[in-house]
Amino acid sequence: MEIVHTPVLLEETIAYLAPRKERELMVDATLGEGGHSFAFLSRFPDLKLIGIDADRDIQERARERLREFGGRVHFYCGWSHEFFAEFPRDSKRPNTILMDLGISLYHYEKSGRGFSLKKDEILDMRIDNSSGVSAAELIARLPEKDLADLIYRNGEERYSRRIARSIVAARSRGTITGSAALAEIVSRAVPSFCRHGPMHPATRTFQALRIAVNGELSRLKDLLEAALGVLEVGGRMGVITFHSLEDRIVKNFFREKNKDCTCPPEAPICRCEGRRIVAILTKKAVSPADTEIQHNPPSRSAKLRVAEKVLEDGQ
């Protein structure tokens, strides 16, 4: 089987999340093709792992890749926040949770769902393509203002109004169903100098639609909260992000859980009796080394943050 995706920040992730005692349980909450999981299982022979992914196709690839580890690996097909929310409280709790929030290169190269700007594919963009609204359906339905707001909010695209106006004009002439057609519409909507830079002018628009279709930001806070609730005290959670919107949510979440007091700043006396839930192990986000970026250019925007759970919430 050809492996398409290269796991980012692999050595740094292992350094922070390596087992510290025997027979630990790890949850890879975003399994993908299983690159991180394969490395952990290979290096730590008594580690057990649960791999989660909402995409059945890519999980089958991971099953094949991790087959050699037999009963040490179990799989869950679904969204990670649902897995943690439904986690049986009488089960062995994970000592380590890893979340790589990036979209696997498999989805760009092999899925045929319109993630890539370099191909002309059906404009779908769903990780779980068995349910939900596709990107094509989204741009066909949204009013112009809502579409512009979405592109600005999820893609931080300064020309979101012009782009939304062009999409609405184009859809009035016929349904936009292909990724190449959308990329061309966006390219023509932005100023000419934007068409000759290092980044394709439709990159942020595609990101914005993908985030919306898969609920990436709306699910993230629930995922972090539910995962931390399941994590064993003394266990560690590592999160790899790829854009500032995700990283800001993760950074703020860890900071809030790292506070001793959660009273409003204007409160004269602390009454919350709060205590720190986590200790932050990465004071600054860990970024890939130059050598990794050279060998794996998609890693250039990756950031890793790690926290250790020191107390159950509510204790």
- Write down the domain spans for the chain: 10-100+216-309, 108-214
Q: What percent of the chain has pLDDT over 70?
A: 94
Q: What is residue 268's predicted lDDT score, i.e. its pLDDT?
A: 67
Average pLDDT over residues 137-163: 97
- Paired tokens of 201: 């002018």
Residue 154 CA neighbour count, 13 Å, CB half = 21
The residue assigned the tokens 């290096």 is 43
Average pLDDT for 286-308: 95
Residue 228 pLDDT more than 90?
Answer: yes
| The pLDDT value given to residue 5 | 83
The model carries a pTM of 0.92
> What number is the average pLDDT over the span 93-100?
98
Amino acid at 207: Q
- According to the model, what pLDDT value does residue 90 have? 84
**pLDDT at position 298:** 87
Least confident of 83-87, 105-109, 135-139: 105-109
Is residue 3 predicted with pLDDT exceeding 90?
A: no
Lowest mean pLDDT among 2-11, 29-38, 83-92: 2-11
Residue 273 has pLDDT above 70, yes or no: no
Architecture of 108-214 per CATH?
Answer: Orthogonal Bundle (1.10)
3.10.20.340, 3.30.200.20, 3.20.20.210, 3.40.50.150: CATH of 10-100+216-309: 3.40.50.150
- Is the pLDDT reported for residue 314 higher than 70? no
What one-character DSSP code corresponds to residue 215?
T
- Beta-ladder partners of 49: 26, 73
Contact partners, residue 226, CB within 8 Å, separation at least 6: 81, 84, 85, 87
> What is the model's pLDDT at position 147?
98
Mean pLDDT of 103-128: 94
Report the pLDDT value the prediction gives residue 262, as an integer from 0 to 100.
66
Q: What is the pLDDT of residue 195?
A: 84
Encoding tokens for residue 114?
Answer: 């319109």
Question: Could you tell me if 258 and 278 are in contact, meaning their C-beta atoms sit under 8 angstroms apart?
Answer: yes
Buried (b) or exposed (e) across 185-200, using 16+ Cβ within 10 A?
Answer: bbbebbeeebeeeeeb
CA dihedral 218, 134, 242, 166 (to 10 degrees): -100
Residue 198 has a pLDDT of 83
Question: Is residue 82 pLDDT above 80, yes or no?
Answer: yes
Q: Which residues pair with 75 in a beta bridge?
A: 51
Mean pLDDT computed over 59-86: 96
Position 272 confidence tier, pLDDT thresholds 50, 70, 90: low
What average pLDDT does the segment 43-62 reach? Answer: 97
For residues 86-90, give the mean pLDDT: 90
Q: Do domains 10-100+216-309 and 108-214 have the same CATH topology?
A: no
Instruction: Using a pLDDT cut of 90, give the percent of the chain over it.
Output: 86
Q: What is the pLDDT of residue 97?
A: 98
Confidence of residue 270 (pLDDT cuts 50, 70, 90): low
Q: What is the pLDDT of residue 36?
A: 97
Residues 172-216 have pLDDT tens digits of: 999 999 999 999 999 999 998 888 888 899 999 999 999 999 999
Arithmetic mean of pLDDT, 248-266? 87
Q: How far apart are the first and last CA of the chain?
A: 48
